[in-house]
Amino acid sequence: MIEELYTPQQIELERRARELAETVMRPVAAKYDVEQAYPWEVQQAIKEAGLSGVWIPQEYGGLGGGVLDLCIVVEEFSRACGGMGVGFAVNALGSFPIMVGGTDEQKQRWLPPIAAGEKLIAFGLSEKEAGSDAGSMKTRAERDGDHYVLNGEKKWNTGGAVASLNTVFAVTNPDRGARGISAFVVEKGSPGYRVGKHEDKMGIRCVPVVEIHLEDCRVPADNLLGGREGLGFKHAMVTLDRARPGVAAQAVGLAQGALDLAMQYTHERQQFGQSVSSFQGVQWMLADMATQIEAARQLVHHAARVIDSGHKQITKVSAMCKLMATDVAMKVTTDCVQLFGGYGYCKDYPIEKYMRDAKITQIYEGTNQIQRLVIARNLLREAAGPAK
């Protein structure tokens, strides 16, 4: 980090996040990857370090840091463990709908415990038949007195098994398409709320990704975000615009972490009587990777700054940084495995985990095909000029 470009709070955040990542996360990353278990000790350490609410405004108990501060922390965590990076970042994804769409009473109710690390929150948008086409979801919410009754299934719910809160999107008016979708904060333990299948994943194995079953699940009408029906799809899209830089930061952290390991390995590994890093072919790979990571990092930080500035047009730059950083992460982590040769393909070294963890970043919070679609739509709209 070039300190002149960041605030004292951001420099301090990076330092604290790196220390936590190196002392608490890295030593247990392989263990939780094997066990596919949630690292509660890491969650406790994040809470004690006061980092749980980096992105939450100070009036609700957070650090008031914005998206750039979130990205700085997520990159550092992911440099040590991609799963622990997303385990943290998913709480931003789950709480952004409250921040962008909640009433003041709802913000007061839910944001302080999230900021304090007392409650984790997930994001329930996708379904088995509604992934990229999020607007085609089938989960229904019907009003019944002072409650809504939710029925349906949510898929790919990251952190859902450990979260006390879940921001769930459901159709309140099937005749209105995307404008008939509403968002609810559903509390774990609500009648009819059940955590289902745990996915057995290639990477990010320390974070549970689960199905959520809603079977006549009764939710107080007060939990309808914004207090009005039909705003849910917009809340989801505006949320993803704010959250995608977090995935991109996870990708930058994974790429940087893999390069750190490859730098060390190629320096120590001797072949043909010399260090592998003395070969020009290897040096060019290292130089390309470092350049690609820095370019990705700068696009992520630019996108985060645009979002934090309050600028209205954030969709394109957010999708661009997610697309670029996650493709860089996949390429860099794959090339780093290559630099480890046969050892890279085995679990003797931590490098293969970086490649497995990186893959999901090209898929979740909108596949990179969807990012390209979003970028192209915005490009074409800009080229067409303002609506007459």
Q: Which residues bind ligand CAA (CB under 6 A)?
A: 90, 93, 123, 125-126, 132-135, 156-158, 178-179, 233-234, 237-238, 240-241, 315, 364-366, 370, 374
Q: Biggest alpha carbon distance in the chain?
A: 79
Residue entry with tokens 């088995």: 128
CB of 91 vs ligand CAA, minimal distance in Å: 11
Q: How far is the CB of 167 from ligand CAA (least distance, A)?
A: 10
- Residue 229 CB, shortest distance to ligand CAA, in Å, is 14
Catalytic residue flag (residue 229): no
Distance CA 47, CA 207 (A): 17
Which one, 138 or 218, has the nearer CB to ligand CAA? 138
CB of 104 to ligand CAA, least distance (A): 22
* Residue among 144, 215, 154 at smallest CA distance from 183: 154
Nearest to ligand CAA of 185, 289 (CB atom): 185
Catalytic site residue from 105, 153, 365, 382: 365
- DSSP letters spanning 47-101: HHTT-TTTTS-GGGTS---HHHHHHHHHHHHHHH-HHHHHHHHHHHHHHHHHHHH
Handedness of CA 383, 299, 281, 339 (dihedral sign): negative
- Tell me the one-letter amino acid at 278: S
Between 88 and 265, CB nearer to ligand CAA = 88
Nearer to ligand CAA, 212 or 351 (CB): 212
Cβ-closest position to ligand CAA: 366
Q: Which of 90, 91, 81, 93 has its CA nearest to residue 39?
A: 81
Task: Give the pairing type, strands 193-198 and 209-220.
Answer: antiparallel
Beta bridge pairs of residue 209:
158
Q: Are 297 and 252 in contact (CB under 8 A)?
A: yes
Tell me the closest approach of the beta carbon of residue 236 to ligand CAA, in angstroms.
Answer: 8
Question: How many whole angstroms separate alpha carbon 336 and alpha carbon 340?
Answer: 7
CB of 275 to ligand CAA, least distance (A): 40
- φ and ψ at residue 185, rounded to 5 degrees: -95, 115
- Segment (H or E) for 381: helix 368-384
Compare residues 314 and 336 and give the one whose CB is closer to ligand CAA. Answer: 314
Contact (Cβ atoms closer than 8 angstroms) between residue 182 and residue 169: yes
Nearer to ligand CAA, 45 or 237 (CB): 237
Q: How far apart are CA 169 and CA 163, in angstroms?
A: 16
175-192 as b/e, with b when 16 or more CB fall inside 10 Å?
Answer: eeebebbbbbbbbbebee
Tell me the β-bridge partners of 127.
Answer: 130
Beta bridge partners of 170: 182
Q: How far apart are the first and last CA of the chain?
A: 45
User: Minimal distance in Å, beta carbon 219 to ligand CAA?
Assistant: 19
The residue among 207 and 289 lying less far from ligand CAA, judged by its C-beta, is: 207
**Rounded-to-integer distance, Cα 41 and Cα 49, Å:** 12
Active site residues: 365
